[in-house]
A and B are shown apart, each in its own frame.
Chain A
Amino acid sequence: MNSVLSSAQVARFFQTYAVLIMIAILIVALSLMSDSFLTFRNLQNILNQNAPLAIMASAMTLVIIGGGFDLSVGSIFAVAGVSAAWIALNVDPVLGLAIAPFIGLALGVMNGVVITSLNIHSFLATIATSMVFKGVAILITDGRLIPVRIAEFTWLGRDKIGGIFVAVIVFVAFALILTFVLTRTSFGRKVYSVGGNEEAAILSGVRTSRIKIATFAIAGMAAGLAAAISVSRISMGQPGAGIGMELQAIAAVILGGTSIYGGAGAVWRSVAGVLLLALINNGFNILNADPFFRDLTTGLIILAAVGISASGQRR
């Protein structure tokens, strides 16, 4: 009796914390295999490099908990990035950085309005808007790169405050704010209810369209913020940037254990998902392993993690 109880609990623990367990295993393994892994410098570099993706995955968590998908955040990243670079070059560098999140926000609101007013699935709607946004990014730049080598522009992506990269501070603050919003506010509660049971939410007086628009707006804003960091770091606006980032963000969210059916999940899970993907990458780098195996290994690990958490849903 006791052993049955504890084995069920152990299984549940593994399902709940699968992503953390895999991170722990990777950290231990990489520390044993290489001396250069477990250093402050390497770990902070991992966080810094992945700050844009982590910001986008954190926001994507809200969209997915709310029962949606946003396949346009990669394109929003591109539009916001080239806009930031263009404004930095032609108007003011700080304004360029500051405006990128708002451009993302505006495009995210457009996504939300299209989805709720036309009543089409977010998956389809954002495939379409993704192409529109990508086209806009190319029009803004005329298909060219926009180099911005100005110190007032590059600090966000490159500088440190008190030994910590600004980008890392921004990403941690953003993830904490979203965690608070999701777990402690009535808006967060409503996001879960919309994804968990939309009909019950409507009958409970939740204005579900507003909630959905808000989740897409947040995802758009996050893509804009991520783009500002990224463009500032490489001092270059590229219309082709951000391609595939939407899929990486979604993969990280799901890898973390947030339900693709909506209604359940957490921001820390998505951050953990990003870190797991990042550690695999980092492992390949510091071990000098054949990079041809990188995608293969990453894919297998995603399958394993998703398999573990899905095994709990069958009863």
Chain B
Amino acid sequence: MAIDQASAGDAPCISLRGIGKSFGGVPVLSDIDLDIGLGEIHGLVGENGAGKSTLGKIIGGYYSASVGHIEVFGDPVSVWTPPLALDRGVAMMHQELQLVPALSVAQNVFLGIEEQHFGVLAQTENARLADVMTASGFSLDPAAITSDLSIADQQKIEIMRALAREARVIVMDEPTSSLTADEAERLHETMLRLKQTGATIIYVSHFLDDILAVCDRITVLRDGRLVRTADAADETKGSLVSAMLGGEQTETPYPPKSIPQPSTGEPALLVENLSAPSGVSNVSLTVNGGEIVGLIGLVGSGRTEIARAIFGADRANGGTIRLSGKPYDDRTPAVSAERGIVMVPEDRRKQGLVMTLPVRANMTLPHLSHFTMIGGTIRTALEKSRVRELIDYFRVMPANVDGEVPYYSGGNQQKVLLGKWLMRDPGIVILDEPSRGVDVGARQRIHEAISELAAKGTAVLLISSEIEEVLGLAHRAYLVHKGGLVGEVDPETSTTQDVLWALFHQEDNNSEALGGNAP
């Protein structure tokens, strides 16, 4: 342990000199000099598009640098690919986990390094897995099928996979982006434990609180350049944000909440006793026009399922829904869009955007009947002008109506997705994780847009894993647990801690109710 500490300053395990990278001629990283010390947790922060993920992927061998030199444990490397990186003890954990869903925990951990005799698998996996679990401090059922496990557990598999290959350096790219607060907390404990065993971790994240909580040193990137590397103890959230933004902004406060008009007639959205086979049970809620109502719950609590049942993406088998007093029974996404109720789904790549279509076609997809002449011919000029307005409103960059979506940053993709759903001024907007995985600037613009929606009388149902975000934006919020609503919180008087406590209290109650089944 003492040796690790001593060597942290002197002998870097990864040393980057003059690293640059460009995609299709567009530079995304230039002139990066960075030393990662042995046994440290090193944070990489920056806005989306600042190049932090790219830098992580260069270290992990997934991208090759266009210019510059890399030294690993003192040896210069020329060709650097994921398998070569693994040979030298450098592993990478991606934002999207690279596991085979149908295989067991043990099979995934040893995928590609199975012990075998002339091609016949040796029956030693469980014993080897026990060793890895001891080293990592995890305990998972070796026979459990990966797709049945939570994302937090799947991340453990990914970490164990790195450890099974004797990785000494692990690059983690946005590991907490799909985790709830407590799962992120558990991942951080894991990282600290790994560090005690002498491992080095490069931690790429948007979440500055997470970075500040576990990192020894933090490197800030802006526009593909290294701004500074400093001890985490010397940084604050404010200092990191101002370094990331280059002094443009220092704080990202939530926009002021509008005061909803006192509800006169029927609520914009009235849900009564809604149940669905997807796990929604007996949900009753109201959202008035001009009101932002939050749904807070742990991942897997059924927040998204409630949204999908209201929108008509999933079939419901009980309950009624009224839009401004009028019943809405046979719900489908197509009818919902016509009746002015839209849902911005949580996963913009899988559920939101068609990556093979340009910005314009993505934004108008749900509204094509309003952009066509007789015979279904699209009125291109009208389409372009409307898309242009939304691009300007959300400040989408690049501001090109025919821009290719796959090349946009996460924040700009999210803005395109919001523009798609807000195009025809719907009366009711369901937002599922509207700011997940986006940079600080985009996040602020999205928050402003949400609050502007409410100010002009739209009813907003807001789902977010970030409790702080719900409290910062919503007028009211419901607590969700096991597909049902279990309480209401007042964002004005509640803190994140209060809400977390209330949620975990639910978990405890349940564990007690289940009796001996609780682990």
Contacts and interface: CB of A to CB of B under 8 A. Distances in A.
Interface stretch (A25-33, A104-112, A201-209): A201-209
A186 B376 CA distance: 5
Contacts of B369: 186
B415 to A, nearest CB: 16
Interface stretch (B175-183, B239-247, B345-353): B345-353
A199 interface: yes
Contacts of A201: 354, 365
From A190, A200, A206, A207, name the one whose CB has the most chain B CB atoms within 10 angstroms: A200
Contacts of A8: 24-25
A197 B405 CA distance: 13
Interface in A208-251: none
B494 interface: no
Contacts of B376: 185-187
Contact of B25 (A9, A184, A190, A203): A9
A1 B22 CA distance: 10
B519 interface: no
A204 B372 CA distance: 17
A205 B337 contact: yes
Contacts of B366: 204-206
Contact of A196 (B335, B357, B364, B377): B357
A297 to B, nearest CB: 32
Given A193-B357, A197-B353, A203 B378 contact: no
A9 B334 CA distance: 40
A206 B343 CA distance: 14
A4 interface: yes
Contacts of B375: 185
B354 to A, nearest CB: 4
B356 interface: yes
Contact of B356 (A5, A184, A199, A264): A264
A185 B378 contact: yes
Contacts of A204: 333, 337, 365-366, 420
B397 interface: no
A144 interface: no
A186 B356 contact: no
18 contacts: A1-B25, A4-B22, A5-B25, A185-B376, A186-B371, A186-B376, A187-B376, A189-B357, A189-B378, A193-B361, A196-B356, A200-B365, A203-B351, A203-B352, A205-B332, A205-B335, A205-B337, A205-B338
Interface of B: 22-25, 313, 332-338, 343, 345, 350-357, 361, 364-366, 368-369, 371-372, 375-378, 380, 420
Q: Which 5 A-B pairs have the closest CB atoms?
A: A263-B356, A205-B334, A5-B25, A186-B368, A196-B354
